[in-house]
C-alpha cells in the first residue's frame, strides 16, 4: 500500500468507533491492519482488537513485528481502562555497571528502530533502579557507571491502576513517559503521557452521552441500526419510568379537576428540581472521574448536596410562590395565598430530594459495580418528577379546600 493510500486509510480510521475500525480492518490485509493499529492510541488499538473476530485478530498479531505482537498479547491480560492496556515495551534498558560511553553507543543503535525518551537502569531481576535523562548522560564522564548518573528518585505506575488513578497521580509531574512496574518493582513497560491523558479524555468525553443511555463507542459515523440497538433499550426504560410519574399525577386527578391552576405549575416544579439534580449529578460524576471523591467522602457529599438543595429551594421557591400568587389572583382564585405556600413548600422538598438523588444515584451505581454514569440522568429524572409532582399535588389536596 502506497503512502497516499495509507494516509487516506488512517484519516478514515480516526473518525470511526472501535467496532467500525474492526469491521474495516477485517476487509483489509493483515499488514494494513498492523499499520493502522500502530498509529492508534494503545487503548483504542486494544479495543479494536477486542472487537475483531478471533481469526482476523490472530492474523494481524501474526503479521506484526515480534515486539509489537508480544505487547498486544501481554496487554490484553489487564482490565480495560487500566494502565496495562496502554503499555509499550521498554527499549532502552541497561545495567547499573554499564559505562556512560557504552550506553551512548548502544542508544545510537536503538534510536534507529525505536522512539526513546528515557533510558532505564535495572538489576539482574529487572527491578527498576533508576532513570537515565539524556542531558545527564551526555554530560557525564565517559567512563562513569550508570549508577552515578541515573536519576534515583523514581515515579512509576502499576499496570492494574485505573486510568483515573494514574492520571491523578501523574497530572502534576509533566513527565513525557512513565515507567510501569509490578508490585515488586520489576519494569514491565512504559506509558506515554500523551496516550494516558488522551485515553482518559476519550472516557470523559463519553460521559455526557452515557448519562442518557448513549454508549461510549457510538460516534457520528455509527450505522443507524447499531445506534438504534444502543439507544432504544434505554428509551424503553425511560418510558416505563415516565409511566410511574404519570401514575403519581393520576392519583390526584380529582385535585387537578378541582384546581386546574395547579397544572400550569407542574412543569415548573419538575424542571427546577431536575436542574438542581443535574447539578449535583454533574459534580458527583466529576469527582469520581477526577478521583476527588475518596473513601469516606460520600456522606459529606450527600449532606452538602442536600443542604444546597434546601437553600436553592428556599430562594427559588420565593420566586415561584410569588408567581403562583399573582397568577391565582388574576384567575380570581380565593386560595391564592395558600397555593403560594404549597408552591414554596413543594419547591423546597423537590430541590432537597433532587440534590440528594443527584449524589446518591451515581454512588449507588458504583457500589453495585455498575458504571456510575450509565443512564443516571434517566433515574434522576424519574425520582425528581415523582417527588416534585407527588409533594405538590399532595400538599394541595390536604391544604387547599
Last residue of a domain, one of 28, 51, 77: 77
User: So what's the pLDDT on residue 367?
Assistant: 81
Residues 203 and 221 in one domain: no
Q: Please tell me what DSSP assigns to residue 296.
A: T
- Average pLDDT (369-392) is 78
Q: Reading across the β-sheet that carries 93-94, which strands appear in turn?
A: 93-94, 119-122, 128-132
Number of alpha carbons in the 13 Å side-chain half-sphere of residue 145: 7
User: So what's the pLDDT on residue 213?
Assistant: 46
Q: Which of 48-52, 199-203, 290-294 has the lowest mean pLDDT?
A: 199-203
CATH of the domain at 124: 3.10.580.10
Percent of the chain with pLDDT over 90: 21
User: So what's the pLDDT on residue 281?
Assistant: 84
Residues 127 and 170 in one domain: yes
CB 329 within 8 A of CB 311: no
Percent of the chain with pLDDT over 70: 89
Residue 360 falls inside a structural domain: yes
Banded pLDDT at 212 (limits 50, 70, 90): very low
Residues 182 and 249 in one domain: no
Residues 173 and 268 in one domain: no
The structure's pTM equals 0.55
Residues 240 and 364 in one domain: yes
User: So what's the pLDDT on residue 145?
Assistant: 93
Sign of torsion over alpha carbons 316, 321, 322, 323: positive
Helix (H/G/I), strand (E/B), else coil: 336: helix
Closest CA to 197 of 162, 217, 165, 167: 167
- Whole-number Cα distances in Å, 134 to 90, 100, 118, 178: 16, 11, 7, 15
Position with higher pLDDT, 274 vs 119: 119
Banded pLDDT at 209 (limits 50, 70, 90): very low
Residues 263 and 294 in one domain: yes
Residue 58 falls inside a structural domain: yes
251-270, pLDDT tens digit by residue?
888 887 777 788 888 888 88
Residue 87 falls inside a structural domain: no
302-337, pLDDT tens digit by residue?
999 999 999 999 999 999 999 999 988 888 888 889
What are the backbone dihedrals phi and psi of residue 144, each rounded to the nearest 5 degrees, phi first? -70, 140
User: So what's the pLDDT on residue 304?
Assistant: 92
Residue 141 falls inside a structural domain: yes
Range of the domain at 68: 3-77
- Whole-number Cα distances in Å, 55 to 72, 345, 346: 15, 64, 61
Helix, strand and coil in the chain, % to nearest 5: 65, 10, 25
Residue 250 falls inside a structural domain: yes
User: So what's the pLDDT on residue 373?
Assistant: 64
Closest CA to 209 of 373, 382, 380, 381: 373
Residues 278 and 343 in one domain: yes
Helix (H/G/I), strand (E/B), else coil: 131: strand
35-61, pLDDT tens digit by residue?
888 887 776 787 788 788 888 888 888
Position with higher pLDDT, 238 vs 125: 125
Residue 267 falls inside a structural domain: yes
CB 143 within 8 A of CB 101: yes
Residue 84 falls inside a structural domain: no
Last residue of a domain, one of 77, 101, 122: 77
* CA–CA dist 217, 209 (Å, integer): 10
Residues 305 and 167 in one domain: no
Concatenating the DSSP letter of every residue in 7-38 gives: HHHHHHHTTS-HHHHHHHHTTS-HHHHHHHHH
What is the pairing mode between strands 119-122 and 93-94? parallel
Residues 133 and 194 in one domain: yes
Q: Which three cell numbers stand for residue 120?
A: 532505564
CB 309 within 8 A of CB 356: yes
What are the backbone dihedrals phi and psi of residue 213, each rounded to the nearest 5 degrees, phi first? 90, 15
Residues 381 and 264 in one domain: yes
Banded pLDDT at 200 (limits 50, 70, 90): low
Closest CA to 16 of 36, 42, 1: 36
Residues 175 and 265 in one domain: no
Last residue of a domain, one of 50, 77, 104: 77
Helix (H/G/I), strand (E/B), else coil: 129: strand
Total domain count, the chain: 3
Residue 83 falls inside a structural domain: no
Residues 23 and 133 in one domain: no
Q: Which of 103-112, 216-225, 280-289 has the lowest mean pLDDT?
A: 216-225
Helices 376-399 and 266-290, packing angle to 10 deg:
140
CATH of the domain at 226: 1.10.357.20
User: So what's the pLDDT on residue 345?
Assistant: 92
Amino acid at each position: 500500500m502506497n503512502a497516499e493510500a495509507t494516509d487516506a486509510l488512517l484519516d478514515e480510521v480516526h473518525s470511526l468507533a472501535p467496532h467500525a475500525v474492526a469491521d474495516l480492518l477485517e476487509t483489509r490485509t493483515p499488514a494494513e491492519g498492523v499499520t493502522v493499529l500502530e498509529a492508534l492510541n494503545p487503548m483504542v488499538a486494544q479495543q479494536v482488537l477486542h472487537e475483531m473476530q478471533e481469526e482476523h485478530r490472530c492474523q494481524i498479531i501474526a503479521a506484526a513485528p515480534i515486539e509489537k505482537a508480544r505487547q498486544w498479547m501481554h496487554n490484553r491480560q489487564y482490565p480495560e481502562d487500566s494502565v496495562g492496556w496502554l503499555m509499550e515495551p521498554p527499549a532502552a534498558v541497561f545495567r547499573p555497571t554499564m559505562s556512560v560511553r557504552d550506553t551512548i553507543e548502544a542508544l545510537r543503535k536503538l534510536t534507529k528502530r525505536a522512539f526513546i525518551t528515557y533510558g532505564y537502569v535495572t538489576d539482574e531481576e529487572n527491578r527498576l533502579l533508576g532513570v537515565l535523562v539524556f542531558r545527564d548522560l551526555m554530560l557525564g564522564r565517559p567512563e562513569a557507571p550508570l549508577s552515578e548518573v541515573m536519576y534515583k528518585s523514581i515515579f512509576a505506575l502499576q499496570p492494574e491502576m485505573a486510568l483515573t488513578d494514574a492520571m491523578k497521580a501523574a497530572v502534576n509531574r509533566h513527565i513525557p513517559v512513565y515507567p510501569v512496574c509490578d508490585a515488586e518493582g520489576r519494569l514491565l513497560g512504559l506509558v506515554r503521557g500523551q496516550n494516558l491523558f488522551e485515553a482518559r479524555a476519550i472516557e470523559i468525553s463519553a460521559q455526557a452521552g452515557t448519562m442518557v443511555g448513549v454508549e461510549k463507542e457510538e460516534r457520528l459515523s455509527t450505522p443507524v441500526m447499531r445506534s438504534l440497538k444502543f439507544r432504544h433499550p434505554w428509551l424503553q426504560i425511560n418510558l416505563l419510568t415516565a409511566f410511574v410519574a404519570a401514575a403519581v399525577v393520576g392519583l390526584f386527578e380529582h385535585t387537578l379537576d378541582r384546581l386546574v391552576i395547579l397544572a400550569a405549575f407542574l412543569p415548573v416544579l419538575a424542571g427546577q428540581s431536575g436542574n438542581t439534580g443535574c447539578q449535583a449529578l454533574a459534580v458527583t460524576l466529576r469527582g469520581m472521574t477526577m478521583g476527588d471523591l475518596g473513601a469516606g467522602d460520600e456522606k459529606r457529599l450527600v449532606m452538602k448536596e442536600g443542604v444546597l438543595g434546601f437553600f436553592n429551594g428556599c430562594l427559588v421557591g420565593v420566586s415561584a410562590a410569588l408567581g403562583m400568587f399573582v397568577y391565582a389572583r388574576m384567575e380570581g382564585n380565593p386560595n391564592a395565598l395558600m397555593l403560594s405556600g404549597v408552591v414554596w413548600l413543594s419547591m423546597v422538598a423537590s430541590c432537597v430530594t433532587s440534590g440528594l438523588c443527584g449524589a446518591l444515584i451515581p454512588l449507588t451505581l458504583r457500589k453495585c459495580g455498575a458504571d456510575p454514569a450509565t443512564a443516571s440522568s434517566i433515574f434522576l429524572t424519574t425520582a425528581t418528577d415523582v417527588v416534585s409532582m407527588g409533594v405538590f399535588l399532595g400538599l394541595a389536596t390536604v391544604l387547599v379546600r
